Amino acid sequence: MGITLDQAETAIKAAKVKALEINTLMNIAVVDAGANLVAFVRMDGAWLGSADISQKKARTARYFDMPTGELGKLSQPGGPLFNIEHANGGLITFPGGLPIKNSAGEVIGAIGVSGSSVENDHTVAQAGVDAIS
């Protein structure tokens, strides 16, 4: 099923370090290759509503093997995938979700981060990805 709990915890730890470094409080979720939750943390004081968003970002990134923000460019009014967010029990298509690949380039899971601006969410997610690449 791809990513291990050890890898997921390594990614989350790095993401937390980055979150503190840029002075944010985040919810961080990691799913495996089957889009099933492997690990999750909500930093003290982080938005409650972001717990679900971070998990949906992680799942969305694995569902379509791309950064969530890429999907969001296509789901705007007039865009080819308008309102795709209604599928799969709710997708989140703004930045903060990233696929995680192994050294062979295969997707082994995904990380989703929510709790600040989408730029910050993306930055923290990237730190998680980088930690296990």
In the complex, what is the shortest distance from the CB of residue 25 to its own copies, in angstroms, rounded to a whole number? 10
Instruction: Using only the alpha carbons of the chain, give its radius of gyration.
Output: 13
Nearer to its own copies, 80 or 103 (CB): 80
| 17 sits near its own copies (criterion: CB under 8 A) | no
130, 14 in Cβ contact below 8 A? yes
| 85 sits near its own copies (criterion: CB under 8 A) | yes
How far apart, in whole angstroms, are the C-alpha atoms of residue 133 and residue 17?
17
Give the torsion sign (CA, 12, 17, 18, 24).
positive
List of residues 6+ apart from 62 with CB closer than 8 A: 31, 33, 35, 99, 107, 109, 110
| 122 sits near its own copies (criterion: CB under 8 A) | no
47: helix, strand or coil:
coil
Among 10, 52, 101, 102, binds its own copies (CB under 8 A): 52
Among 14, 15, 51, 131, binds its own copies (CB under 8 A): 51
| 133 sits near its own copies (criterion: CB under 8 A) | no
- Size of the residue set binding its own copies (CB under 8 A): 56
- Which residues contact its own copies (rule: CB under 8 A)? 1, 4-6, 8-9, 32-44, 47-53, 56, 59-60, 62-65, 72, 75-78, 80-95, 117-118
